[in-house]
Amino acid sequence: MFNFYAGAYNNGEVNYNTLNIELKHPLEIANNFLGYNQHSFYGDFATKGVNHNTINIKNDLTTTDLSQSYKDALNIIAARTLEGSADYNKVYINNSMSTLPVYIYTAKKNLLNNQDFYPSSANNNKVSIKDFASFRNLTVLTEAKEASYNTINYNNVQSITDTSNTDKGSKIIIRALDKANHNTIDIKNYSSNAADNAYLIMAYNEAAYNKIIINDTLFGVASDKREGILSIIAGLSNNGHDNTLIINNLNLDEYKNNNSVFIAPSAITGLSEAKSYNNTLYRREFKYI
């Protein structure tokens, strides 16, 4: 188990740090006394704010050996704070691979004394992943009270290429307690055969002017039952408006179970006063395989 930190402070802010990871030899996956493999890369960890931090990753992260513990994880955390802002943090991954489940956070909530602590804001953060393969699940999360102007880009990315791990989910979720506005998820040349695929921008009070772009993407179900769940929603909120979903060449597996595919530019939570308006769906080449 390894933990790498660009910066950490237990009573204040940590800003403007960079963590460059370019392994000459990938991390080994092996049986050990813990019973699992778990490694973490932190841009910054602080109590009152983490901003303008960057994580750059090149080359393979792990060996090609597969580990099967449910506790396995490779965590990439650009910003983690108990309070204050988590803005302008970036994660770049290029030409890499992992056989551990990968969890990427541009801003992350914290559990302390059975209470959740969220950054006050997660704005202008970026995740860019290019030429990457995960042999387990791949998840990107942004969690804060408010989240705006965040961008997440995939280009030539594979998730869950090993069929023994299809019970895990692969997700991109931007989640705000209050408002999530002007965020973008842009996926190109992507494939995932996870049982649970979720690509969501969501907030309790307002989700507006968000955009999800899907290009040349395949969502499959590798299980024998051909069952799974797929959710793509650009604005999930009590007040969702002016959100856009653009789909160009999306291929879906059979999804034999009922109520399994949800694709929409906006959706409401179910409260009687919830509303959704001025949302747009552009679609070209959408088919089941």
pLDDT digits (tens, 9 = 90+) for 240-256: 999 999 999 999 887 77
Are 178 and 121 in the same domain?
Answer: no
- In terms of Cβ atoms closer than 10 Å to its own Cβ (0-12, 13-18, 19+), residue 217 is buried
Q: How confident is the model over 43-55, as pLDDT tens digits?
A: 988 899 999 999 9
- pLDDT attached to residue 166: 47
257 domain residue, yes or no: yes
The pLDDT > 70 percentage for the chain reads 91
Q: How confident is the model over 140-157, as pLDDT tens digits?
A: 999 999 999 999 999 999
CB count within 10 Å of CB 222 equals 18
Q: How confident is the model over 156-196, as pLDDT tens digits?
A: 999 975 555 545 689 999 999 999 999 999 999 999 988 88
Are 8 and 117 in the same domain?
Answer: yes
Q: CA–CA separation, 222 vs 200, rounded Å?
A: 22
Of 71, 101, 125, at which residue does a domain stop? Answer: 125
Q: How many domains does the chain have?
A: 2
pLDDT band for position 112 (cuts 50, 70, 90): confident
Q: What mean pLDDT comes out for the span 204-217?
A: 97
Cβ atoms of 202 and 180 closer than 8 Å: yes
Structure tokens at 40: 């973490």
Q: What is the mean pLDDT of the chain?
A: 89
Q: CA–CA separation, 144 vs 118, rounded Å?
A: 5
**Domain, as residue range, for 45:** 1-125
Q: What mean pLDDT comes out for the span 231-236?
A: 97
Structure tokens at 89: 């943090």
Are 12 and 121 in the same domain?
Answer: yes
Which residues, listed in sequence order, are joined to residue 132 by a DSSP beta bridge?
Answer: 96, 157
Buried/exposed code over 22-44 (b: 16+ C-beta within 10 A; e: otherwise):
eeeebbebeeeeeeebbbbbbbb
Compare 33 and 252 and report the one with higher pLDDT. 252
Of 65, 93, 125, at which residue does a domain stop? Answer: 125
pLDDT band for position 270 (cuts 50, 70, 90): confident
**Could you identify the residue written with the tokens 């950054």?**
119
Tell me the torsion sign for CA atoms 109, 273, 207, 234. positive
Longest CA span, the chain: 56
DSSP H helix total and E strand total for the chain: 0, 28
130 domain residue, yes or no: no
pLDDT at 258 exceeding the cut of 80: no
Of 95, 125, 155, at which residue does a domain stop? Answer: 125
Are 171 and 69 in the same domain?
Answer: no
- pLDDT attached to residue 286: 63
pLDDT at 67 exceeding the cut of 70: no
